[in-house]
Structure 1
Amino acid sequence: MRNLGLALLYTATLALANPALADTAAAQAAVAGDMKKLTFHAEPKAAGTADFMTFEGEPLTLSQWQGKWVLVNFWATWCAPCRKEMPMLAALQTDLGGERFEVLTIATSRNPPPKMKQFFEEIGVDNLPLHRDPKSALAREMGVLGLPVTLILNPDGQEVARLTGDADWASKDARAVLTALIGADD
């Protein structure tokens, strides 16, 4: 019992010394519902460095989002679970998006821009970016093997968690996990 108490004290001290670890620990403690599919890494992992692009074809890299928490969602126009999930991601961006957090959507593989635009119009999403990874360079580098895949990057641009498959990102469970990470008020 004494060793357990010492281990908890050590973990709490370590977490308080590093706010990013404290945020991750609090988020892990908040996991429930669909968020049980969210896997937190023991240590943050390097994010991919491959270029992707804006809808118009301008080059982008994930490093451009350093300084804030980012939820990166890889999707495709032909992906049925993506169609179900995308409005929930849009609601999440509406609720939590800002200086500390952003939802970043990246269509990977062959997704013709007109189809991407039509996809968003059909599901009523107008507040998420139509970024493209047409050759799947970033997706491959990040180990995305199926769709949808959602990654959470910390402000240092490192991957701290991953969810494979769709989830209800507009749920109270998702909001609890993300607010624990980004420090937003409920």
Structure 2
Amino acid sequence: MTEKRPLGLPSAKLVAFAAVAGIVAGAAAVYVKQAGSGNGGDTADVGQCAASVEKATSLKPFTTGEVAAMVAATQPRVIGGLSFKDQGDKDLTLADFSGKTILLNLWATWCVPCREEMPALNALQKAHGNDRFQVLAINIDTGASDKPKAFLDEIGVDALGLYRDASMGVFNSMKREGLAFGLPATLLIDDKGCLLGAMNGPAAWDGKDASALIKAAVGG
């Protein structure tokens, strides 16, 4: 992990943010277990996500240190209904990334912790991005794409691409699911589209703890 982050919070401060977020995320996990997905899809998810239960459980030892706020899912389920656009304004859903383990991160230029962790997410994509893993950072600024694009260019984020949902529909869907309470919000989703874990708050994604978590999620 680099000692100096371009615009980043010191690692200790990121971890402090993450620790508080972990308490909130833990409450979210309880809510989700009790309330279900809210879209009537739980029964259909049982078969598709059956193998993901063991995977999510196996990740618990890796949700530590700088990624301690990541709460492993107790009932992995399909994360669907999330629509967004790429830089060319093409409509996409998570189905377009099937076959890959995805670290889905919601961010906005007006969110200070989001701005701080973007270089680390960029570094994670550079270190681990391939045909089996991708950091999918979705910007939810309203309006045109000029502002988020200029921000990414300014700080040298060159590996993530600009994915956007100016309607904030992705955030609202995650909020209804009990998975997002603010920004940044991050989901770890396996190659079948099943939720492995959720985090509210920033993390040092360029550190060894994050690297170990992603390696464990992707598997051999």
Superposition TM-score, scaled by structure 1 size: 0.83
Task: Check the 8 A contact 2:183/2:200 in 1, yes or no.
Answer: yes
What CA distance in whole angstroms lies between the structure 2 residues aligned with 1:95 and 1:71?
13
Matched, 1:61 2:61: no
What CA distance in whole angstroms lies between the structure 2 residues aligned with 1:149 and 1:50?
14
Question: Structure 1 residue 19: deviation in Å?
Answer: 5.8
Aligned partner of residue 46 in structure 1, secondary structure: coil
Gaps of 5+ in 2: 1-49
Task: Name the residue aligned to 1:155.
Answer: 191
Task: Name the residue aligned to 1:47.
Answer: 79
Matched, 1:33 2:69: no
Gaps of 5+ in 1: 1-17
Task: Check the 8 A contact 2:52/2:76 in 1, yes or no.
Answer: no
Question: Structure 1 residue 34: deviation in Å?
Answer: 2.0
Query: Which has the larger share of strand?
Result: 1
Task: Check the 8 A contact 2:122/2:160 in 1, yes or no.
Answer: yes
Which of 75, 90, 110 is the equivalent residue of 2:107? 75
* Structure whose alpha-carbon radius of gyration is higher: 1
Aligned partner of residue 24 in structure 1, secondary structure: helix
What CA distance in whole angstroms lies between the structure 2 residues aligned with 1:25 and 1:159?
12
Q: Deviations over 1:75-114 (max 9, x none)?
A: 0011111111011001110111101110001011415311
- Using the aligned pairs only, state the percent identity: 36
Q: What amino acid sits opposite 2:211 in the alignment?
A: R
Task: Check the 8 A contact 1:27/1:176 in 2, yes or no.
Answer: no
Q: What amino acid sits opposite 1:129 in the alignment?
A: G
Cα–Cα, structure 1 residues 165 and 75, in superposed 2: closer, same or farther, change >3 Å?
A: same
Matched, 1:119 2:151: yes
